Amino acid sequence: MDLPVVNHEDYFAKIGDDHKFPIKKFGELANYLKKNEIVKKFHKPYACSFETLSHAHSKNYISKIKNKTLSKEGIKKIGFPLVDSVVQRSLVATGGTVLASKLAINYGISCNTAGGSHHANYDGGAGYCVFNDVAVAAHYLINRGLANKILIVDLDVHQGNGNSEIFKDNRSVFTFSMHSKTNYPVKKSNSDLDVELEDNLEDNAYIKTLKYYLSELNKENFDFVFYIAGVDIHFNDRLGKLKISDEGIRLRDELVVENFFSQRIPFCGVLGGGYNKDFNKLVELHSILHQSCAKYIGS
């Protein structure tokens, strides 16, 4: 059996060739996965419905995005121009994580080739995040009785403040964020478990810390896991402040996947952030999530 991976050509949006966000990575990642035979074919998502979005975001905010009537301040906070392709990308990428979560229920493990938009909160987007796909998908699973106690493991270099805010009063979702102490957002939220890392942290200390907290999380009875596998922890990332190597990222992803898959907990991996100075390296680093998951499918 092949690893179920979700992808869509609409993950690309027209934000301008000089934009800081590497929007072309989604298409290139899909090409890389097929070229290296990590994936044979992709599952194709639909745009997320208004109703499904509305469990994680206000109807007013959703309408302003879909109608492109969000204020200049709101658009600036997101960091993308509010054009048709950005709206479509946001809807389809969110639908992609919803689809990936259903595939994880069916197959035990799955991935999206986008997702991890963890800065978007109930009333607005931020930090290149329009809709919070993991929050939307988590609500989807709970509302349909497909999961009762969900864990979000967020290992992006930036804190998953959107998830911590959306789920702060929700006992069905546990938010764990291990991130750079001094990085964006300046004002951190309170996750159920936050681990703040000092600048320039290297592989050994990072992996040792992660192992400890995974063992703590294993004491809980989660029945679904979302994993936000940001690669902006890499030493050559433009927006990261850590010094994790290629091998450190591979070890991290394999550690996380094995930890939960060995317990037979349905597992959905999403991309998270990555702004490497070397674009080809960025694509390669993002693919490590899918490579790590592919090892376990059918086992």
Q: How confident is the model at residue 224 (pLDDT cuts 50, 70, 90)?
A: very high
Contact 235, 272 (CB under 8 A): no
Q: Which two tokens stand for residue 121?
A: 């909160």
Confidence at 16, pLDDT banded by 50, 70, 90:
confident
Which token pair is 264? 């037979």
Q: Domain boundaries in the chain?
A: 5-294
Q: How far apart are CA 288 and CA 294, in angstroms?
A: 10
User: Could you tell me the pTM of the whole model?
Assistant: 0.97
Pairing of strands 224-228, 150-154: parallel
* Residue 31: pLDDT over 60: yes
**Structural tokens at position 170:** 């929700």
In this model, does residue 182 exceed pLDDT 90? Answer: yes
For the purposes of burial, counting CB atoms within 10 Å of the CB of 101, is it exposed (0-12), middle (13-18) or buried (19 or more)? Answer: buried
| pLDDT at position 18 | 85
Q: Is pLDDT of 259 > 60?
A: yes
Sign of CA dihedral 76, 79, 84, 87: negative
Q: What is the arithmetic mean of pLDDT over 192-198?
A: 98
Q: Which CATH class is domain 5-294?
A: alpha beta
pLDDT(298) > 80: no
Residue 241 has pLDDT above 60, yes or no: yes
Which helix (H) or strand (E) segment is 77 a member of? Answer: helix 72-78
